[in-house]
Amino acid sequence: MDIFSEVIGSLRTGRAKFARTRHLGTWGNRFGPEPGMGFHVVLAGSCWLLTDSEPPVRLSAGDVVLLPRGAVHGLAGSPDRDLALLPPDSGGPDRGDGDEEADCATLLCGAYRLDHAQPHPFLRSLPEVIHLPAQLGHHPALRSAVDLLAADLSDPQPGADAALPALLDLLLVYVLRAWLREEATRRPGTGWQAALDDPAVAAALRQMHVAPQRPWTVQQLAALTDLSRTTFARRFAAAMGVPPLAYLTWWRLNRAAQLLVREDAPLASIARRVGYASEFAFANAFKRRFGVSPGRFRRTRRQEPVQHDYDLGGVSTA
pLDDT value of position 242: 86
Look up the domain containing 216 and give its range.
Answer: 193-303
Do residues 197 and 271 both lie within one domain? yes
* CATH for 23: 2.60.120.10
pLDDT value, residue 50: 96
Q: Are residues 23 and 172 in the same domain?
A: yes
User: What whole-number distance in Å separates Cα of residue 301 and Cα of residue 278?
Assistant: 23
Helix (H, G, I), strand (E, B) or coil at 167: helix
How much is the pLDDT for 97? Answer: 38
Q: How many domains does the chain have?
A: 2
The reply to whether 222 and 137 lie within a common domain is no
pLDDT at 186: 72
265/148 same-domain check: no
Residue type, 157: Q
CA 230 to chain centre: 32
Q: Are residues 210 and 123 in the same domain?
A: no
Residue 259 and residue 141 share a domain: no
Helix axes 244-262, 279-290, angle to 10 degrees: 100
Same domain, 177 and 201: no
Q: Which of 73, 68, 83, 74 is nearest to 35 (CA)?
A: 68
What pLDDT is attached to residue 40? 94
pTM surpassing 0.85?
A: no
Q: Is-contact 30 88, C-beta < 8 A?
A: yes
Between the alpha carbon of residue 102 and those of residues 45, 76, 106, the distances in Å are: 9, 15, 12
| C-alpha–C-alpha distance, residues 26 and 177, integer Å | 35
Residues in Cβ contact with 60 at an 8 Å cutoff, skipping those fewer than 6 apart:
42, 46, 133, 134
What is d(CA 255, CA 9) in angstroms, rounded to the nearest whole number?
11
Tell me: do 131 and 262 sit in the same domain. Answer: no
**What one-letter code names the amino acid at 165?**
P
- Whether 118 and 164 map to the same domain: the answer is yes
Which parts of the chain sit beneath pLDDT 70?
Answer: 1, 10-14, 90-103, 115-119, 121, 136, 187-191, 304-318
Question: Do residue 23 and residue 138 come from a single domain?
Answer: yes
Quote the Cα angle for 92-72-194, to 5°.
110
Burial 146-155 (b: 16+ CB within 10 A, else e): bebbbebbee
AA letter at 120: H
* Alpha carbon separation from 169 to 19, 81, 172 (Å, rounded): 15, 32, 5
Question: Which amino acid type is present at position 298?
Answer: R
Q: Are residues 150 and 88 in the same domain?
A: yes
Residue 101 burial (10 A CB sphere; 0-12, 13-18, 19+): exposed
Same domain, 260 and 313: no
Question: CB under 8 Å, gap of 24 or more: what pairs does 98-104 form?
Answer: 98/22, 98/315, 99/24, 99/317, 101/24, 101/25, 103/24, 103/25, 103/45, 103/77, 104/22, 104/23, 104/24, 104/25, 104/44, 104/45
Would you state the pLDDT for residue 115? 65
Q: Give the β-pairing of 310-311 and 73-76.
A: unpaired
**Beta carbons of 121 and 242 less than 8 angstroms apart:** yes
Residue 293 has a pLDDT of 94
Dist CA 225 CA 239 (whole Å): 15
pLDDT at 309: 45
Give residue 103's pLDDT.
58
CA pseudo-torsion sign 166, 170, 175, 179: positive
Cα separation, 297 vs 76, in Å, equals: 41
